[in-house]
Amino acid sequence: MATREKNLSYYDESSIPDASGFRIGIVVSEWNPEITENLLQGARETLLKTGVKEENIQVWHVPGSFELIYGVKRMQKNIFIDAIIAIGSIIRGETPHFDYVCQATSQGIKDLNVHNDTPVIFCVLTDDTKQQAIDRSGGKHGNKGVDCAVAAVKMAWLKKNS
């Protein structure tokens, strides 16, 4: 696992641009809420810590990770946002469904990045077990939501300054 040697909650605060003027969207899957809500909490707290104003954080919920694509697409189209974080959790089960959902979700989010001007940050955990998801959503490996909030701020800065 790539996170074995990295704490997902660690970042160098001095490397973060001023985020006080940014509007950040978050689209969150309701599937595996004990995981996705922890990721949301980590992302929101980090955005606030980096200077994003509470009123400039827009959160939408969708039923599952597959639906993140449509939720992000609608957010890109309907409200001005500097970056969007797509939060989900897909845990391997007994059928190939895991593979299909992971592939479609990652490809869909990639397509949104290629075809639109608003950066979309992939904060979708794709784990073999629920324990791995717990470990990456505030457990022993930190919180991927923190890591993705930092990426969102950096990408919003890039969008505004390039």
Domain boundaries in the chain? 22-161
What pLDDT, on the 0 to 100 scale, is given for residue 73? 98
Flag whether pLDDT at 2 surpasses 80.
no
Q: Is 97 a catalytic residue?
A: yes
Cα four-point dihedral sign 141, 37, 48, 159: positive
Which pLDDT belongs to residue 1?
Answer: 47
Predicted TM-score (pTM) of the model is: 0.95
Please give the average per-residue pLDDT across 57-73, as a whole number. Answer: 98
Burial track 25-37 (b if 16+ CB lie within 10 A, e otherwise): bbbbbebbeebbb
Which tokens in the block code for residue 72?
Answer: 């992000």
pLDDT, the chain, mean: 95
Mean pLDDT value of segment 103-108: 98
CATH of domain 22-161: 3.40.50.960
pLDDT above 80: residue 3:
no
Query: Which of 61, 97, 115, 141 is flagged as catalytic?
Result: 97
